[in-house]
A and B are shown apart, each in its own frame.
Chain A
């Protein structure tokens, strides 16, 4: 924790040093995510609902995924650079430190300009929560939980992908397919997709469990309590998957696995 504090302090100091660029970057990184929301908003002003969900309700889904993404991209920058670290051989320098490699990746970099994404996501979410009539203290607590869990789940999925890079040395294209595409899909009500994609988003890359299922339960679209528990289940179940894959990948890298 001490390490993390030192890093956050140092990064904030160095990034905020160029004030104008810093603010411009925070703002502009937020608006590209906002454009995705605006598109849906434009479409849904012409229609009553999307698969039975109003624009306000969809806004809640979008905001959970985007906030989670913002948290991940702020603190998980090291995982994003895994491909580069492996290709340049710089991953070696992580192994000469007395902490675990995953921990070291987490402190590889902190990117505060991604917080613009979080700001826009919370604005969109608040607007959705207030207008869809679910505003209450318990819901706000649940929402905060879901945002944090979304951050953790996205982190876990990216750990799996980073581990894959131990074998493939390249994972940026895989990232588009397994994270970017599914992240976008999980910001819509899953019932508009065919069962195949819905199952993938539930059981394989379980981003849907963090948005669609719990919010469905809260909005009374389902009575199944599993829907509410789904986010906790998927985050916990992903832990052993990440840990085993990462350890196996690392063994391969250090040359005991092959």
Chain B
């Protein structure tokens, strides 16, 4: 546990160095949220539903920083490039866990310095709402599987890049799916009826759609969180299997 904490801390501090730049970046991200809010207010007019959607969009935008915008390829491709990937195998901790703690550090940083400020800016300037008291705890709980799932998806991109030494294509395909299906601007409810429920139950929706819906009180946490947890377990198991196969190929190539 001590090792885990120190890995998280190092990666947190690494992010911390660029605080000034990140504040500017955070404002940029807030503008993206604001654009989404404008779109939904223009579509729904002056209705309670419009207020809820505004909140939904800002919460999603804030959550992107602990889901879709995690370090690309979970730092793995960077390590392939600078040749430090081999070091991950000589440590007494599995590659998956090491990556997980490393990425967790920047996720903690992102949550404190980007997610929370974006949400507060929304509260101050865009009149977004806060959850019903009963939904606060479920919302925070649902962030955890959302993060784990996102980590695994980024980790898959990393595994791909280690195996095929090409990162751009895998990253772009991941971005395409996550952007479209996670529901950060267009929730699953607005997709055509035939694919609506498939999308809502996809792992991508678990990273953004489910927590944001819980936040605005439009989803029963006793349905949402179990769905998320299932995906989290499945993806972690899949990650472990893939780690084993890639480890073999790296050892053969000699890192």
Q: For chains A and B in complex, what number of residue pairs have CB atoms within 8 angstroms?
A: 94
Residue A223 lies at the interface, judged by CB distance under 8 Å to chain B = no
B169 near A25 with CB under 8 A, answer yes
Which residue of chain B is the closest to A21 with respect to CB atoms? B166
Question: Once the chains bind, are B168 and A192 in contact (CB under 8 Å)?
Answer: no
The answer to whether residues A177 and B25 also contact, given A29-B172, A35-B179 and a CB cut-off of 8 A, is: yes
- The reply to whether the CB of B87 lies closer than 8 angstroms to some CB of chain A is no
B21 beta carbon closer than 8 Å to chain A? yes
* Cα(A170)–Cα(B172), bound, Å: 25
Q: Check B222 for interface membership: any CB of A closer than 8 A.
A: no
A43 and B43 contacting across the interface, CB-CB below 8 Å? yes
Judge whether A192 and B169 touch: CB under 8 Å: no
Partner of A39, one of B29, B41, B180: B180
The CA of A174 and the CA of B28, in the complex, are separated in Å by 8
Q: Which of A32, A34, A173 contacts B22 (CB 8 A)?
A: A173
A160-217 with Cβ < 8 A to chain B: 170, 172-174, 176-178, 180-182, 184-185, 188, 192-194, 197
- B164-184, CB < 8 A from A: 166, 168-169, 172-173, 175-176, 179-180
Chain A contact residues, majority secondary structure: helix
Q: Are B179 and A21 in contact (CB-based, < 8 A)?
A: no
- Report A-chain residues with C-beta under 8 Å of the C-beta of B166: 21, 24
A47–B190 Cα gap in the complex (Å)?
A: 10
A176 and B29 in contact, given A25-B169, A28-B169 (Cβ under 8 angstroms): yes
B35: interface (CB < 8 Å): yes
**A36 contacts partner chain B, Cβ-Cβ < 8 Å:** yes
**Given contact pairs A177-B28, A181-B31, A181-B32, A50 touches B39 in the complex (Cβ within 8 A):** yes
Q: Is the CB of B179 within 8 A of A24?
A: no
Q: Tell me whether A45 is interfacial, beta carbon within 8 Å.
A: yes
A43 to B173, CA, bound (A): 22
A residues in contact with B29, CB < 8 Å:
176, 181
B residues near A185, Cβ cutoff 8 Å: 31, 35
Closest B residue, CB atoms, query A172: B21
Whether a CB of chain A sits under 8 angstroms from the CB of B185 is yes
Q: How far is the CA of A140 from the CA of B45 in the complex (A)?
A: 34
| With A32-B179, A43-B186, A176-B24 as contacts: A24 and B169 at CB distance below 8 Å | yes
- Flag if A31 contacts B28 (CB, 8 Å): no
Inter-chain CA distance A242–B151, complex, in Å, is 41
Among residues of A, the one whose C-beta sits closest to the C-beta of B164 is: A21
**Is the CB of A258 closer than 8 A to any CB of chain B?**
no
- Shortest beta-carbon distance from B212 to chain A in Å: 15
B190 near A170 (CB under 8 angstroms)?
Answer: no
Once bound together, how far apart are the Cα atoms of A15 and B32, in whole Å? 33
A38 to B186, CA, bound (A): 10
Structural contact, B43 and A39, CB atoms closer than 8 A: no
Asked if A46 is at the interface (CB within 8 A of a chain B CB), the reply is yes
Q: Which residue of B lies closest to A36 (CB)?
A: B179
Chain A residue with Cβ nearest B24: A173
For B191, give its contact among A24, A25, A42, A174 (CB under 8 Å).
Answer: A42
B145-174 CB mask vs A (1 if < 8 Å, else 0) is: 000000000000000000000101100110
Interface residues in chain B, defined as those with a beta carbon under 8 Å from any beta carbon in chain A: 18, 21-22, 24-25, 27-29, 31-32, 34-35, 38-39, 41-43, 166, 168-169, 172-173, 175-176, 179-180, 185-186, 190-192
12 A–B contacts, CB within 8 A, in A order:
A25-B168, A28-B176, A34-B176, A40-B186, A42-B190, A42-B191, A43-B39, A47-B43, A50-B42, A51-B42, A177-B28, A188-B39
Interface residue ranges, A against B (CB under 8 Å): 21, 24-25, 28-29, 31-32, 34-36, 38-40, 42-43, 45-47, 50-51, 113, 170, 172-174, 176-178, 180-182, 184-185, 188, 192-194, 197
